[in-house]
Amino acid sequence: MICLGIEGTAHTVGIGIVRDRPFGILSNVSSMYRPPSGGIHPRDAANHHASVFTDILQKALERANIKFNDIDLVAFSIGPGLGPCLRTAATAARSLSLYLKKPLIGVNHCIAHLEIGRAVTGASDPVLLYVSGGNTQVIAFMNGRYRVFGETLDIGIGNCLDKFGREAGMPFPAGPKIEEIARKGRKYVGLPYSVKGMDVSFSGILTAAINSLKRESMEDVCFSMQETCFSMLTEVAERAMAHTEKEEVLLGGGVASNERLRNMVRKMAEERGAKFYCPPGELLVDNGAMIAWTAILMKKSGIEMDIDETAIKQNFRTDEVDVTWRH
């Protein structure tokens, strides 16, 4: 089976073409919207997605070296995400499905991060620490569903870093720049470590970090932000592993590109005698291949969707999905 998957929940629009037997990511093309200044306006991101769509579709087909007719299944990210972006991807997917007369499946974006990680890293039943711009969740499979064991109570970790960066004059996305600057940090500046039960919160740290720039160096503040936020994430991931008795931890989301975060989570796993997994960069960030692959799993487990079941779900919860493809 060959599936064309469209990702479009937020700043990135992507198309991935995936084959199941033998497993292969035939192509995975994406384009990220970068606002000229300030934050992302959902409508501007959606316009960007629409304007580059045919171009990346062509590239995806070319790189996969297939023709339209070779596609057996069309998939798209049905949620969670920004309404205008989701609608753009959904509309494109519906048109393609009707035109090709091939089935259409809407995929939960967070679950797609986990499934692509399982497919390419060898992790079989991991706790996923999903750290992206808008989302921050600790997810694991239990009793037929992917359940959220901990999550942010306010903004996503990537959003926290990007907002701090914007205040400090860095271009979007600020995460990589903060990582680079943090390497030169020497002193830990106290920031409010906020773990509440199994959940985390970043808005207080964001405000405190911005305020501390008046007294402390940029290097020390970036370093301290990373140390604080990443320790919190490592702590809740570890507690989820202990609670679920799982022996694998998997990273997903753009913030997992960060070496410091990876090292913290890797060390935590080692100390528990557990295994650490992290997919390659192009599969960590939002991408179409993860959507295509998850749709293949869904389709092969018997899931079918009528066009009228493909309405977008902006607040789609991870644990709403009946995971028919795992036992």
The Cα 218–Cα 224 span in angstroms is 10
How is residue 108 written in tokens? 């939960």
**Which of ligand AMP, Mg ion, none has residue 258 at its interface (CB below 5 to 8 Å by kind)?**
ligand AMP
- The answer to whether 254 contacts ligand AMP (rule: CB under 6 A) is yes
Where do the DSSP E strands lie in the chain? 2-7, 12-19, 24-32, 73-79, 104-108, 127-131, 136-142, 145-151, 195-196, 199-200, 248-252, 275-277
Q: Of 132, 194, 224, 234, which lies in the binding site for Mg ion, with binding defined by CB under 5 A?
A: 132
Interface residues for ligand AMP in 138-167 (CB under 6 A)? 158, 161-162
The Cα 88–Cα 10 span in angstroms is 11
Q: Which is nearer to ligand AMP, 12 or 97 (CB)?
A: 12
Q: Which is nearer to ligand AMP, 126 or 173 (CB)?
A: 173
Interface residues for Mg ion in 278-297 (CB under 5 A)? 286
**Which of Mg ion, ligand AMP, none has residue 16 at its interface (CB below 5 to 8 Å by kind)?**
none
The Cα 169–Cα 107 span in angstroms is 36
> Min. distance of Cβ 168 from ligand AMP in angstroms?
13
**Which of ligand AMP, Mg ion, none has residue 133 at its interface (CB below 5 to 8 Å by kind)?**
ligand AMP
Residue environment code for 256-293, b if the CB has 16+ CB neighbours within 10 A, otherwise e:
bbbeebeebbbebbeeeebbbbbbeeebbbbbbbbbbb
How is residue 198 written in tokens? 């199994």
Over its C-alpha atoms, the chain yields an Rg (Å, rounded) of 19
**Which of ligand AMP, Mg ion, none has residue 192 at its interface (CB below 5 to 8 Å by kind)?**
none
Q: Of 114, 149, 286, 295, which lies in the binding site for ligand AMP, with binding defined by CB under 6 A?
A: 286
Binding site for ligand AMP (CB under 6 A): 12, 132-133, 158, 161-162, 173-176, 179, 253-255, 257-258, 285-286
Binding site for Mg ion (CB under 5 A): 132, 286
